[in-house]
Amino acid sequence: MGSIDTVLFELRTFEPSRTFAAEAHIGNRLEYDTIWRQAQADPVTFWEESARNITWFSRWKRPLIWKEPYAQWFEGGTTNAAYNCLDRHLKEGLGNKTAIIWEGEDGSSQNLSYQALFEKVCQLSNVLEVKFGLKPGDTAAIYMPLVPEAIIAMLACARIGVVHSVIFGGFSGPAIRDRVQDAECKVILTADVGYRRGQEIELLKTIDSVMPEMPTVQNVLVLKRKTDTVLKEKHSDWNLLVDQEAKTHFPKPFDSEHPLFLLYTSGTTGKPKGIIHSTGGYLVGVSTTAKWIFDLKTTDVFWCTADIGWITGHSYVVYGLLSHGATIVLYEGAPFHPHPGRFWEIVDKHKVSILYTAPTAIRAFMRAGDEHPRKYQLSTLRLLGSVGEPINPEAWMWYHTEIGRGRCPIVDTWWQTETGCILISPIPGVTTTRPGSATKPFPGILADVVNEEGKSCSPNEGGYLVIKHPWPSMLRGIYKNPERYKEAYWTKFPGMYFTGDSAHRDDRGYFWIKGRVDDVINVSGHRLGTMEVESALVSHPAVAEAAVVGRPDPIKGQALVAFVTPRGDETKVSVKELVRELKEHVSREIGAIARPDEIKLTRTLPKTRSGKIMRRLLKDLAEGKEPTGDTTTLENQALIELIED
């Protein structure tokens, strides 16, 4: 009872190549198996060992204090995230090493050394402390395009103990306002514009459209990329202020548990959750996994294509990579602009050795045709990664053959905004991979698949993915909402962290993650709460009620389908016009990523007698299937009546 059907079976296997294993940090399977077994038996000792990956100002007293559902890791230890990403590399003589290779959509590029990055971070830290009076524990929002200043902003906040909340540059005014006000941000760091698909994205205008509704914001620091941008009240010119500041700054020690950042993510209710991450434990998690899973070497050029607005950008563009003194690529632009080979051109141009991207992008490249990557050498690549959603075996094989040229291991990495770092993934020098499986938990991660009663499932039996022991980079709560934190993650299965994902394990113990079991949809690797989109729809005056469901989509993973009942009997405008207007409305309220792919206007929504919308039924309809399953509890047996022109 309550178990979930298992449909995906994939039997192809790929052994790590001998040459890769010979040079890998972790290349000996027997040794690794021993480490893994010990870590599963004693996760705390494993993580204490791993804590050596970062520099501490003072050592912790106790490695873990666990009072469910709250963990404290490395209690009493102090550190500084920016120090770990900058100063310590300068001390080791890496000042001239390239930290960031930035590539613009128009083909221009810029390299920033660790020394230059350090100086810019120090200058901005001084601005934030001295000019804006920010103190440790204050919050600041970062709403920026993918330019080096976005990373400089994050590190400057981290350096002075200010909690940053990065808001994805594609979010609209109301979405920014909700996040900024929930976090009570005092400062917003932004740019006048970003560039994508040859267009200007008006970031500052978007902020200005909701400025009157953000009373907590005292200052907006604007990176002017256009000379004619006019700054208004509360705006300050980034370059002007920064240039006046000293290029040094003393990094204060912060408690291991000091919050490093908030990141808002979708959940099952309309309001996004402000996920809280710590400093010490988070850094230990991301730097350890970056080293082991990506087999990171000093010579690597690492390109993670995620935006810094998502957790992947936080952990594997910024903190996990810079804490190792790695060279990272940052591309501000769209994958297919100005031509379908743009990504591969960048790989060759900057000699990328590790590429970390999302299945939705891989599927889009597949569809665009093999001729595009085939025009490029791609000979510098040695490892490929995938993240954000399940990768279907076809896309895995294409990635392996066309991009990895059969030579590069693939790490399919499962994790979440809440987990902070990767929790399930192959270790490329030792794990035999199976296309579509994230394989095994990282050492020290006690992942399991359980049934409705919380009992471990048998091999190949589907169930819920849970984690049974705290780990250092786990979330520390939901900002200002402890009840929701308990309810969302710790109530369904007492004593276990509930991921919200369904999965099964095969007879080798490999995990196959299928997707969400709650009202969260994964569109192009982005988590969207159906409730969030529904709230946006019903905020339109013409809408009485709305229900949003996901429909499988060959490229995006899932597409958003909205069922909407308009107010009154007659719509004033044509159905087509109203649908267009509602799609625009959602884009305005949340951002283009939440724009429904399809809106169906209906006279009623199918409900149970207790008034619950029957989503299962809507899902069937969205997929064009005859509704299956039990409909006896349906209040209105007429199902739904579509309104058409």
Binding site for ligand PRX (CB under 6 A): 265, 311-312, 387-390, 412-417, 438, 499-501, 513, 515-516, 522, 527
Q: How far is the CB of 436 from ligand PRX (least distance, A)?
A: 9
Provide, rounded to whole angstroms, the least separation between the CB of residue 201 and ligand PRX: 21
**Closest distance of CB 23 from ligand PRX, Å:** 25
Residue (492 or 527) nearer to ligand PRX, CB: 527
CB of 500 to ligand PRX, least distance (A): 6
Q: How far is the CB of 425 from ligand PRX (least distance, A)?
A: 8
**C-alpha torsion 236→240→244→249, nearest 10:** 70
List all residues 6 or more positions away from 35 whose beta carbon is below 8 Å from its beta carbon: 46, 443
What are the E-state strand segments in 68-186? 70-75, 78-79, 98-104, 109-113, 139-143, 163-166
Nearer to ligand PRX, 357 or 535 (CB): 357
Q: Which is nearer to ligand PRX, 307 or 412 (CB)?
A: 412
Q: DSSP for 475-501? A: --EETT-HHHHHHHHTSSSTTSEEEEE
Shortest distance, position 244 Cβ to ligand PRX, whole Å: 39
CB of 63 to ligand PRX, least distance (A): 25
CB of 532 to ligand PRX, least distance (A): 13
Question: How many C-beta atoms lie closer than 10 Å to residue 361's C-beta?
Answer: 21
Q: How far is the CB of 527 from ligand PRX (least distance, A)?
A: 4
Residue (121 or 594) nearer to ligand PRX, CB: 594
Q: Pick the closer one to ligand PRX by CB: 325 or 443.
A: 443
Burial class (CB within 10 angstroms; exposed 0-12, middle 13-18, buried 19+) of 19: exposed
Structure tokens at 206: 């978007």
State which residue, 26 or 475, has the beta carbon closest to ligand PRX: 475
Q: Between residues 169 and 566, which has the closer beta carbon with respect to ligand PRX?
A: 169
CA atoms within 13 A on the CB side of 358: 22
For residues 46 and 43, give the distance between their C-alpha atoms in angstroms, rounded to a whole number: 5
131 CB neighbour count, 10 Å cutoff: 16
Write a three-state SS string for 179-243. Answer: HHHHHCCCEEEEECEEEECCEEEEHHHHHHHHHHHCCCCCEEEEECCCCCCCCCCCEEEHHHHHH
Between 260 and 438, name the residue whose CB sits nearer to ligand PRX. 438
Burial of 518 (0-12, 13-18, 19+ CB in 10 A): middle
Tokens for 547, please give them.
């229900």
Which helix (DSSP H) or strand (DSSP E) does residue 289 occupy? helix 280-293
Name which of 334, 336, 388, 394 is nearest 363 in CA terms.
Answer: 394
Residue 4 vs 221, nearer CB to ligand PRX: 4
The residue sitting closest to ligand PRX, measured at its beta carbon, is: 417
* Cβ at position 504, least distance to ligand PRX in Å: 12
Buried b (16+ CB within 10 A) or exposed e, 614-641: bbebbbbbbeeeebeeeeeebeeeebbe
Q: What is the dihedral of CA 127, 131, 137, 142, to 10 degrees?
A: -50
Least distance (Å) between residue 617 CB and ligand PRX: 23
CA–CA gap between residue 494 and residue 491 (Å, rounded): 6
Smallest gap from residue 397 Cβ to ligand PRX (A)? 16
Name which of 286 and 614 has its Cβ closer to ligand PRX: 286
Residue whose pair of structure tokens reads 């993918």 in the numeric block: 146
Q: Which of 457, 455, 407 is nearest to 428 (CA)?
A: 407
Q: Which is nearer to ligand PRX, 124 or 594 (CB)?
A: 594
**318 vs 601, beta carbon nearer ligand PRX:** 318
